[in-house]
A and B are shown apart, each in its own frame.
Chain A
Amino acid sequence: MAPVPGGSYAAFYPVKGEAPQPVAPFWLDLQPVTNAEFLAFVREHERWRRSRVPRLFAEAAYLSSWAGDLELGPDAEPAQPVTFVSWFAASAYCKSVGKRLPTEAEWELAANPASDDPLALDEIARRTLAFYARPRGKLPRAGDTPPNAHGLHDLHGVIWEWVADWNASLALADNRQDRDPENDAFCGGAAAGASDPESYATFMRFAFRGSLEATYALHHLGFRCARSTPP
């Protein structure tokens, strides 16, 4: 894990009159949780095995890239980030190792280190977009991409990641309506309402989170864990 200094997080879709929220310093995993780590978890916690988990906590595609309950198989290398895991499963994993999921504010702060260097910000955008422009190939091994200013790997352009409060930005399903001021109640604010309308990489991340339900287990969605105190 690496320490991430606290700061002030300005919501991407701010509610009218919402001030940036303070974020206390925290610790974040250097890389996403891997297949090998998740395998150790389900070995010990039977209720989270693929054939045992209730549909209430994970949809049918849960761990569908694995060969079996306790068998990774050729499509899930031990060192690759685990995907096809629901929010419930991710939360349970983090709890089992004395951690928790990061909040959206924590994740966004960690992933977008404050920087005067426009090139650094451009690089984030470039990596994110290259991810969406590439044909869907194999997942790289966790930790393979260069670390950012906080020493964290794989935050952009590898997989989407669960956060604890992914429902915090309630972008409406029709993302063009979000600029309607009547939608304060929905915390909406696409395009003109977003704090940085040209950060379309961020738009994609927020749109993706807005499409999720807690039971979803998706091909390109994994997670990493956080702690409020040093590990």
Chain B
Amino acid sequence: MIEAQLGVAPQPAPPVNRAHAAKVIVKLEVREVVKELADKVQYMFWTFGGNVPGPMIRVRKGDTVELHLMNHPDNAMPHNIDLHAVTGPGGGAASTFTAPGHQTQFTFTALNEGVYIYHCATAPVGMHIANGMYGLIVVEPESGYTVVDREYYVVQSEFYTHGAFREPGLQPFDMQRAINEDPAYVVFNGRDGALIGDRALPANVGEKVRLFLGNGGPNLISSFHVIGEIFDNVFPEGGTVANHQVQTTVIPAGGSAIVEFALQVPGTFILVDHSIFRAFNKGALGMLKVSGPENKQIYSGLEVDEVYLAERSAKATEALKGSKDGGDSLEARMARGKAVYMGTCSTCHQLEGQGLASVFPPLAKSDFLMADKQRSIHTVLAGLQGPVEVNGQTYNNVMPPLANFTDHEIADVLSFVRNSFGNQGEAVNDAEVAAVRAELKQPAAAGHP
């Protein structure tokens, strides 16, 4: 006679590690308890063992299981239990109908191996399940499961509240929403954020991980995926036939799955229901935080981050061809300045210097530009904000400072714009730019990216 060691999610029950069948005693206490469903959101959960999901039960195929169900005297409702691993009426529900302050017992033989949901089946059944009364019973094959480095126990389910997602306060159950299959919450392990932040599941590079997965429903099917990982093995529906190399596996409502994968690189790997709005807007999101050495060959991390000009790049390249540093003649400056202009300034001021009506002022025949050379140097170095009047129109936008261009480059581009697009004026030389830069107390530029 063995007293079962139960697992409280996310920890699994320990492997059975036994070469023969045995009689196993399992004791489950039903508690109706108010707990947090999300930050500042409370809910009256009906639970096995005080938690959602209920504890993981783990036995061996062929075991005789003596199941005790206790209904705490402070509870208001009767409860029972249906274990999908049981062959017999109601999966046990017919023999465990228990009033508050009472306990019942029945015994079954675990004829079949697999991963099975258990849940309460007292009328109204949907409500009992919706309030959190489910968990997993794992019936190991006679030879047990292969040894892995880490096992976790994760159950997805929904909650149907009057209030919206994360609306604070004690939220009552909403039967109409449950009938409409319109949950406010779709979560792992009984609450929004159960596997986030400091509750994330830890693991290490090099480890083989197994997840025992359940779906308590009551309504939705899960499309389970771990972002950044591929499942080496999947036992769909908790059965015995393995699938391999799977990205996303389906967990039926009232069903289960086992997934196994090896960890090759560190990082945070996100568990989701890939019906993706459930992950981002209803809470179906958890974290597996993997520590250890990087492997840049498998995953390099960010290698390049630079400007992308798209169709503008053609003009810039063309301009660059003529821009070998040919000295400080106006011609040479115009050629180099054009390259700078096409590569950067044209983003806002456009390819013909025409600007964008009511957004970016034109440089073409611009009275503002040509009126004051010093001001134009200052504008490139320090940027410009606030209302300006250009060619009779008011513009009020933000030009960022471009002080990372060298004095040489700024002199070139200003010479270019002051002699293009219908403008005609003096060139600008490096010393003039340097002088304004000194006034602005800016450091020397590194050069443009």
Contact = CB atoms under 8 A, between A and B. Distances in A.
Given A133-B172, A211-B97, A220 B124 contact: no
Interface stretch (A26-34, A106-114, A172-180): A172-180
A129 B90 contact: no
Q: Give the most central of B43, B77, B179: most A CB within 10 Å.
A: B77
Interface string B376-411: 000000000000000000000000000000000000
Interface string B107-128: 0000000000000011111010
B78 interface: yes
A15 interface: no
Interface stretch (A2-10, A88-96, A199-207): A199-207
B94 A177 contact: yes
Given A174-B82, A175-B121, A203-B124, A130 B172 contact: yes
B123 A190 contact: yes
Given A173-B94, A208-B78, A211-B78, A219 B124 contact: no
A5 B299 CA distance: 78
A148 B109 CA distance: 51
Query: Which applies to chain B's interface (DSSP): helix, strand, loop or mixed?
Result: mixed
A200 B32 CA distance: 18
A218 B100 contact: yes
Contacts, number: 107
B95 interface: yes
Nearest to B99: A211
A173 B90 contact: yes
A98 interface: no
B374 to A, nearest CB: 73
A74 to B, nearest CB: 17
Given A133-B44, A219-B74, A200 B100 contact: no
Contact of B90 (A177, A204, A210): A177
A17 interface: no
A207 B123 contact: yes
A211 B99 CA distance: 5
Interface string A177-200: 110000000000011000000101
Contacts of B173: 129, 132-133
A177 B97 contact: no
Interface in A100-148: 129-136
B366 interface: no
Nearest to A60: B101
A171 interface: yes
Contact of B44 (A135, A203, A207): A135
Given A130-B172, A174-B90, A210-B97, A203 B102 contact: no
B76 interface: yes
B99 A136 contact: no
Interface in B20-61: 32, 34, 43-44
Q: Which 4 A-B pairs have the closest CB atoms?
A: A174-B90, A211-B78, A173-B97, A175-B123
13 contacts: A61-B73, A132-B76, A132-B77, A136-B74, A173-B80, A173-B90, A174-B82, A174-B94, A176-B121, A177-B90, A190-B125, A191-B125, A218-B100
Interface of B: 32, 34, 43-44, 73-74, 76-78, 80, 82, 89-90, 93-102, 121-125, 127, 170-173, 175, 179
Given A173-B80, A204-B77, A207-B78, 4 more contacts: A61-B101, A175-B123, A200-B124, A200-B127
